Amino acid sequence: MSGTRPGRQLLRQEVVEGIKRYILEERLRPGDPLPTEPALCEALGASRSSVREAVKILNALDIVEVRHGHGTYVGRLSLSALVESLTFRGLLSPDDDFQVMADLVDVRELFERGMADRIVTLLAPEQLDALDGLVTTMRETGSQDGHGFVEADRAFHALLVAPLGNELIGQLSMAFWDVYTIVAPHLDGFTHADETATITAHQNIVDAARAKDVPGFMRALSEHYAPVRRRISEARVRDGRARD
C-alpha cells in the first residue's frame, strides 16, 4: 500500500522468512504448535506488530493456522492460495479466461496420462468399484443436477490418483480441478451429447483400468478431455467475433 514504509515491508518479510526458517529447522509438521507470540518476538528480534503481520501473511498462505484462543500451528500447507490466484487470474481478464482453462486441462491430463501405468497397476478392486459407483452417480444425476454430477466428477479424479500415494499430485490435481470448476461456467455449450460423452469416457477409464489396459486407459482420458478442449476453442471463436 502507498502508506506503508519500505523499511516496514522489509522487516515484515524478514519475519515471514524467519518463521518459515524456524518451521524447517525445527522439523515441525502440519498441526505442530509454534512458539507463543512473545517467544517469536524474542527469537526473531522483531516487534509484536511485525510478528502479527507476518503470521497473517503465512495464515493466508496456509503455512500457519491461527486457532483463536489456542495459539498458532503449522498449517495444512494446502494449495488454497494457488487456487485463489489462478481463479482470480481467470476471472480478471477476458483475454486470460480461455488460456487459463486450456492450461488447466493440459495439466490435469498430464498428471493422469503421465502416471497411467502406475494408476492402472495400483488401483485396487474396491477402488475400481468405487469409481464405477461414481460413474453411476453421474449417470443418474446428470449435469443439470449441478452439485451431484460435479461432486461425483471431482471425487472420481481424486480417487483416480489416490493410489499413487503422492500427496503433492493429489493436492495439485484437486487444486486445478477446483479452479476449472469455478471458471468453467463462463464457457457455454455443454450439451446433452457432451454429458453423454463425458459419462462414457469416465466409464471407459474404469473399464480400461480394470482390464489393466494402459493404452485403452490413455485413450479414454483423451476422450474425456476432448470435449472440454472443443468448448474452449469454440468459446475463443465466439469471443473473437464479439470483439470484432
DSSP state string for 224-235: HHHHHHHHHHHH
Q: Say what the pLDDT of residue 33 is.
A: 94
- Which of 67-81, 125-139, 204-218 shows the lowest mean pLDDT across its residues? 67-81
Provide the pLDDT confidence category of residue 8 given band limits of 50, 70 and 90: low
DSSP lists the bridge partners of residue 74 as 64
Residues in the chain: 244
- Phi/psi for 129 (5° steps) reads -65, -40
Asked whether residue 6 carries a pLDDT value surpassing 60, the answer given is: no
Provide the pLDDT confidence category of residue 23 given band limits of 50, 70 and 90: very high
- pLDDT tens-digit series, residues 52-61: 999 999 988 8
Asked whether residue 36 carries a pLDDT value surpassing 90, the answer given is: yes
Question: Are the C-beta atoms of residues 19 and 44 closer than 8 Å to each other?
Answer: yes
Question: Are the C-beta atoms of residues 75 and 30 closer than 8 Å to each other?
Answer: yes
Report d(CA 59, CA 72) in Å as an integer.
9
- pLDDT tens-digit series, residues 129-178: 999 999 999 998 876 655 678 889 889 999 999 999 887 788 777 777 77
Q: Which residue has the higher pLDDT, 122 or 166?
A: 122
Asked whether residue 106 carries a pLDDT value surpassing 70, the answer given is: yes
What's the average model confidence in pLDDT over 20-36?
A: 92
Asked whether residue 39 carries a pLDDT value surpassing 50, the answer given is: yes
Q: What is the pTM of this model?
A: 0.69
Instruction: Calculate Rg over the CA atoms of the chain.
Output: 22
Report d(CA 125, CA 40) in Å as an integer.
50
When the pLDDT of each residue in the chain is averaged and rounded to a whole number, the result is 83
Grid cell, residue 5, equals 514504509
